[in-house]
Chains A and B, each alone.
Chain A
Amino acid sequence: MSPETIVHADPRAAANVPPPLLAVDGLSLEFRTRSGVVRALEDVSLSLQKGELLGVVGESGSGKSVFAYAMLGISDAAAKITRGTAVFDGMDLLGATERELREIRGREVSMIFQSPRTSLNPIRKVGHQIEDVLRRHAAVRGQDLRERAIDCLKRVRIPDPARRYEAYPFELSGGMCQRILIALALACQPSLLIADEPTTGLDVTTQAAIMDLIVELAHERQMATLLITHDLAMAAQYCDRIAVMHAGHVVEVGPAQVVLHQPQHPYTARLIASTPHTADSIAAMQPIPGSLPDLRAAKLPPCRYSARCEYRTERCDTEALPVVPIDATHSVRCWRAAA
C-alpha cells in the first residue's frame, strides 16, 4: 500500500465486524483565545466496539481531555470543531442539539471527569446525588432507592457505606470523591463510559478493584470504555487497545500488548522508556526531550513530534503525514514506518 493512502484508524471497521458503537473520523478542534488560535486536535480518528476497553494515553496537554469533552459537546465556549465526524450508535454527535446531547449524556454515555471534587455538588449529600441519578435513569423508586444507592457506594469500595451515604463531598477524601463520581457514572448503566483519569488519585488496591469493576461491566453489559490515562502500565494491563496521542494527533493505535512491546512510533517508544516502572533510579528516568510544540504556532509542521524526534527527516516537516497500517489492527502515523 502506498504511504499516502489514508486508512481508517481501525481497519476492523472496514472488515466484516459489526459497526462500531463510537466512530470518530478526522476530528479537528481549535480554541480561539486572545493570544491566538490553539489547535488542540487535528484529524483524530478512533473507534470503539461494544464491550471494548480503549486506552487513550499521551503526555499532559496532548488533547486527551479535550477529545473526550468534544464527544459530549461540553467544550469550552472558545472551542470550535473545524472538521470531522463523530457517530455514536448511529447518531451524529457533532450535529446534535444541546437537548439531544443532554439526553445521551448520563443515559447512554457517562463521563468521569478529571477533577472529582469540583464535579460533585458540594452542598448535597453524596447518597442523595446517587439517588438523583438512579431516579432519573434506572427508574428506581421509593424504599429501593436508598438501598440501591448504598449498594452503589459499596461496589466502589466505600467503607461503611450506610453512614457515608450521609456525607457531603468535603467530608470525603480525594479518592473517595473520585469513587463517588465513578459510582454516579455507573449508576445509569451507560453503554459507553468515558473515564478521564478515573483512578489516578487512588491507591493500587482500590484502583485494581475499580478496574475489575469496569472490566466486569464490559463483559456483563457490553459497556464500552474510553479510558484516558497516562499510566501506560495500567492501560496495558486492562485495555484491549491503546491509542497514543501527541500534541493533538493520534500517533499510534493498536492492541495493548503490541503497542507496549513493539511500539512503532518513536514517541510511543519514548513514552514507554520514561515509565518509572522500567527505571531503577531517578537519574535513569528519561524525560522525553523537548516539550509539546506551542499549539498556537501559525505553521505547525505536519508531524508535530518532528522537533523532538531522533529520526527526523526533511519530509517530516514538509509532506502531509500518512497513517501507515502495520497490520489489520495496528497503525501508526509516521514516515519512518512508511519506509
Chain B
Amino acid sequence: MNAPERNIPLLRVQRLQKHFKVGRNAMLHAVDDISFDIAPGESVGLVGESGCGKSTLSRVIARLADPTSGALQFEDVDLAVHPAAKFARDSRRGVIQMVFQDANDSLNPRYTAFDTIAESLRLLVGMKDAAQIKARVEELATWVGLPVDLLSRYPHQLSGGQKARVGIARALAPSPRLLILDEPTAALDVSVQATVLQLLAELRDKLGVAYLFVSHDLNVVRLLCDRVVVMYLGKVVEEGPAEAVFTTPRHPYTQALVAAIPDPDARGRKTVRAEGEPRSPINPDPRACRFHGRCPKGEPKCELTMLDLKEVAPAHRVACHFA
C-alpha cells in the first residue's frame, strides 16, 4: 500500500467527538477527539477494549449517528454537516456501507435472506429487473459463502454465522467505496472467515474498496490490515503499520493486548493481564491518561498530563510518556 500522505485520503476524520449525556452533569466520552485518515483502497484495523468506542465511531463515520463535534471529510465533502437522518436519503448512501456487530439486531425478522439483500439493490442501486436482482443476490451470497438454498430462510431459521453472512452480502450489494465492518468475523467459523477475508482482500485489490475493520481478532487484523488504530476509552493511544504495531507495540495498553492473544499451546498458563480497575468514560479527567491506574508503567505524571500522539517511528504514533 502507498504511504497515505502521498494519496488524497478517501476519508479524513478530524477531531471527532461523540459524547452521550447519561444523567445530570454526566457526560460519557465515547469518542474523544479522534483524528485519522483512510486512503483509497486501504484497510485500517480498529482495535481496543470492549466499550472503548469502536462501534460509536463506526456509526458516526457511516453517518448513522451525529458527531458532537469534529469534521468527517469523505473525498471532497464534509459529511459531518449532513445530519444522519437526512443522509439516509442521500444519493451517496451506498458509497459508505456498514456491517453491524450484531447480525441478529440488524436483520428485519420478516424478510428472508433474499429480501434483505435484494432491498439493498433496489434502494441503493436502483436495480429493478427481477431476474437481474435474483442473479446478483445469488452472486453476492456465493461470494460470502452463504449456500444459495438458505436464501429463502427467515433470520430465526438461520444460525448466527449464516445471519452474519447475510449482513455482509447486504453491505456489499451497492459496491461501496468504504466498507465499515464492525466485528464481521466474530460470528463466523474459521472456514467461512477465511472465505470472507479472501473475498475482502480480492475486492480491495481489484476494486480498490477501503475498509475500516473493527475486530477483536488480532490475528485477522494483522493479516488483513495495512494500518492499525488502537483505541482506549475513547482515545487513540497508538496508530501505525499493522506489522509494527503487532511486533513492536509501544503503548503499554497495546502491549497488554498483544500479550493476551489466545495461544492454543498455553493451556493452564495465565497470560499477562492488565490489572486494576479501568477508569470511567463518564466525565473523565481531561488531564489524566485514560490507561493510568491499570498501566504497569504508570507514574504520577500520567495523572497530570495526557500526551497527544507523537511519532516514534515512520508513520507509527503513540500517546505515552514512555514510548
Q: State whether the Cβ of B162 lies closer than 8 Å to any Cβ in chain A.
A: yes
Q: Are B271 and A208 in contact (CB under 8 A)?
A: yes
- Of all chain B residues, the one with the shortest Cβ separation from A279 is B223
Cβ-based interface call for B277 (8 A): yes
Residue pairs across A and B with CB atoms within 8 Å: the count is 193
Q: Is the CB of B257 within 8 A of A205?
A: yes
Chain A residue numbers with a CB within 8 Å of B67 are none
Say yes or no for B97: interface residue by CB 8 A criterion: no
By a CB distance below 8 angstroms, the chain A residues around B49 are: 203, 205-206
Contact A285 B161 (CB under 8 A): no
Please tell me if A174 contacts chain B, counting CB pairs below 8 Å.
yes
Assess whether B104 is in contact with A115, with CB atoms less than 8 Å apart: yes
CB pair B261 A201 closer than 8 Å = no
Asked if A85 CB lies within 8 Å of chain B CBs, one says no
Of B47, B55, B102, B198, which one neighbours A116 at CB under 8 angstroms?
A: B102
Shortest beta-carbon distance from A221 to chain B in Å: 19
Query: B260 at interface (Cβ–Cβ under 8 A)?
Result: yes
- How many residues of chain A get a CB closer than 8 Å to chain B's CBs? 72
A276 — which chain B residues lie within 8 A by C-beta? 190, 193-194, 197, 217, 219-220, 223
CA A76 to CA B153, docked complex, whole Å: 14
B186 contact set on A, CB distance < 8 A:
197, 200-201
Residue A97 at the chain B interface, CB threshold 8 Å: no
Q: Which of A118, A175, A237 contacts B50 (CB 8 A)?
A: A175
Tell whether A163 pairs with B280 under 8 Å between CB atoms, given A204-B257, A204-B260, A205-B256.
yes
Asked whether A65 and B159 contact (CB < 8 A) given A115-B104, A296-B149, the answer is yes
A31 to chain B, nearest CB (A): 7
Contact of B105 among A31, A62, A117, A206 (CB under 8 A): A117
| Chain B positions within 8 Å of A31 at CB level | 157
Contact status B190-A275, CB under 8 Å: yes
Known: A166-B23, A173-B51. A205 touches B145 (CB 8 A): no
Q: Given the complex, which residues of B lie within 8 Å of A292, measured CB to CB?
A: 147
List, in ascending order, chain A residues with CB within 8 A of B17's CB: none
Interface positions of B from 145 to 159, Cβ below 8 Å from A: 145, 147, 149, 152, 156-157, 159
CB of B244 closer than 8 Å to a CB of A:
no
Q: Give the chain A neighbours of B270 by CB distance below 8 A.
A: 212
- Residue B309 lies at the interface, judged by CB distance under 8 Å to chain A: no
A89 close to B (CB within 8 Å): no
- A242 to B180: give the CA distance in the assembly, Å: 34
Contact B224 A282 (CB under 8 A): yes
Contact with A along B264-298 (1 / 0, CB 8 A): 10110011011001111110000000000000000
- Chain A min CB distance to B13 (Å): 19
A204 touches B191 (CB 8 A): no
Residue B160 lies at the interface, judged by CB distance under 8 Å to chain A: yes
Asked if B279 and A159 make an inter-chain contact with CB atoms under 8 angstroms apart, the answer reads yes
Interface pair B187/A286, CB less than 8 Å apart: no
Which of B152, B191, B264, B280 is within 8 Å of A277, CB to CB? B264
B183 touches A201 (CB 8 A): yes
- From B47, B145, B156, A203 is in contact (CB under 8 Å) with B47
Q: Is B189 an interface residue (CB 8 A)?
A: yes
In contact, A118 and B102 (Cβ under 8 angstroms): yes
- Most chain B CB within a 10 A radius of its CB, from A167, A171, A233, A280: A233
> A274 touching B194 by the CB < 8 A rule?
yes
B-contacting residues, A222-237, CB 8 Å: 230-234, 236-237
Q: Which of B160, B161, B257, B281 gathers most chain A CB within 10 Å?
A: B160
Closest to A205 in B: B260
- Residues 84-133 (chain A) with a chain B CB within 8 angstroms: 114-118
Contact B195 A287 (CB under 8 A): yes
Chain B residues near A200 (CB, 8 Å)?
A: 183, 186-187
B147 touches A291 (CB 8 A): yes
B101 at the interface (CB under 8 A from A): yes
**Closest chain B residue to A38, Cβ basis:** B157
Do A202 and B216 touch (CB < 8 A)? yes
Chain B residue numbers with a CB within 8 Å of A167 are: 22
Contact (Cβ within 8 A) A61 B161: yes
Whether, in the assembled complex, A194 has its beta carbon less than 8 Å from a beta carbon of chain B, the answer is no
Which of A115, A159, A280 is in CB contact (< 8 Å) with B277?
A: A159
User: B133: CB under 8 A from chain A?
Assistant: no
Distance of A231 Cα from B48 Cα, bound (Å): 19
Residues of chain A contacted by B111 (CB below 8 angstroms): none
Distance in Å from the Cβ of A230 to the closest Cβ of chain B?
4
| B96 proximal to A (CB < 8 A) | no
Shortest beta-carbon distance, B249 to chain A, in Å?
13
- Residue pairs across A and B with Cβ atoms less than 8 A apart, 23 shown, are A31-B157, A59-B189, A60-B188, A115-B105, A117-B105, A118-B102, A163-B23, A167-B22, A173-B50, A179-B50, A197-B186, A200-B186, A200-B187, A203-B216, A204-B260, A205-B256, A205-B260, A206-B50, A212-B270, A260-B264, A271-B191, A276-B223, A287-B145
| Other A-B pairs beyond A160-B282, A231-B262, 13, CB < 8 Å | A35-B152, A58-B189, A60-B161, A115-B105, A163-B282, A178-B50, A201-B50, A230-B189, A237-B262, A276-B197, A276-B219, A285-B198, A287-B195
A residues neighboring B (CB under 8 Å): 31, 33, 35, 58-62, 65-66, 76, 114-118, 157, 159-160, 163, 166-167, 171-176, 178-179, 197, 200-209, 212, 230-234, 236-238, 256-257, 260, 270-271, 274-277, 279-283, 285-288, 291-292, 294, 296
Name B's A-contacting residues (CB within 8 A): 20, 22-23, 26, 47-51, 54-56, 101-105, 145, 147, 149, 152, 156-157, 159-162, 164-165, 183, 186-195, 197-198, 201, 216-220, 223-224, 256-257, 260-264, 266-267, 270-271, 273-274, 277-282
Top 3 closest pairs, chain A to chain B, by CB: A60-B161, A175-B50, A160-B280
